[in-house]
A and B are shown apart, each in its own frame.
Chain A
């Protein structure tokens, strides 16, 4: 598989997982939150700081359909991560001479 096609296929899978698959994820508390409930320190959890992001809590502000709201937040998160991560890694990379590129 060519590089570009592999990367696009991988991105599509990530977008589908975050945009569609996440709706079907378990809504039970995760291991840490469950243990915090059971052993009694969950009440020490503070409300998260409002950063002004429209995607807080993996839902999209103003979108009331749960499937769509979560899906948009998931897609946005994947693209933000790709943008920030990809940008950072592109800046950090060692430059290879043009003739060695594939």
Chain B
């Protein structure tokens, strides 16, 4: 979903740049509470893993493909603020070194995949976790649901931006329907990858999955209430 230079006009790109800057600025402050000696290297790994995952385009039919966005995945593994920074670093490396995603569109891409993708992915993950049974096995499933919803939502956000500041005069409904339609299918791929990766981490190191806190984590002291 990397937006190249030229799809959106300058005012819209500046506006998304501001949104991205505010998002990243907030995240830089708040991520501190999610990062310590143990989780900081994990967060670096998560960013590197999302970069790798984004290279794997999977076919979704009719000559089109999709790839992992990774917002829900990163947020569930290392927390939403750090997750937002992970995706932003990935987009920065892609824009600067790989010519993937325009440099004037960096703010747009951070807004769509880093802010919308992470906030929606993590928000839906939390909601899903609240209704699922309170056990660690619910975490991958809830993460998959978050991932599933995050992709078409980011696609809808792009459609909205294109309706406001698109450089071509195309019926907004047409872009919206096509974007959301295809990204529902891509979202299924996102959900499968996210669910599988979280399952693998939960199976080996549940304590490194931030979204599983309170359900797993380090062995805790079991306390029982004793009556008088």
Contact = CB atoms under 8 A, between A and B. Distances in A.
A22 B56 contact: yes
Interface stretch (B14-22, B117-125, B137-145, B176-184): B176-184
B228 interface: no
A41 B99 contact: no
A34 B63 contact: yes
Contacts of A74: 52, 55
A84 to B, nearest CB: 5
Contacts, number: 231
Interface residues on B, range: 35 or more
A77 B98 CA distance: 8
Nearest to B208: A6
B132 interface: no
Interface string A1-40: 1010011001101110110011001111111101110111
B65 A28 contact: yes
Contacts of A3: 38, 41
Nearest to B175: A39
Contact of B64 (A10, A28, A77): A28
Contact of B59 (A26, A45, A88, A101): A26
Looking at chain B's contact residues, is the secondary structure mostly helix, strand, loop, or mixed? Answer: helix
Contact of B1 (A21, A30, A101): A30
B204 A18 contact: no
Interface string B19-56: 00000000010011101111111111111111111011
A13 B201 CA distance: 13
A86 B136 CA distance: 27
Nearest to B48: A82
A27 B43 contact: no
Interface residues of A, number: 64
B67 A30 contact: yes
22 contacts: A17-B52, A28-B59, A29-B63, A30-B2, A30-B57, A31-B155, A31-B179, A32-B3, A32-B155, A34-B65, A38-B178, A39-B175, A47-B5, A53-B96, A55-B97, A57-B99, A73-B98, A78-B48, A85-B85, A86-B40, A89-B31, A96-B37
Interface of A: 1, 3, 6-7, 10-11, 13-15, 17-18, 21-22, 25-32, 34-36, 38-41, 44-51, 53, 55-58, 73-74, 76-82, 84-90, 92-96, 101-102
Given A39-B178, A51-B103, A94-B35, 18 more contacts: A14-B51, A25-B55, A31-B182, A34-B62, A35-B175, A41-B166, A46-B5, A46-B6, A48-B99, A49-B99, A53-B98, A57-B100, A81-B89, A82-B45, A85-B47, A89-B31, A89-B35, A89-B39
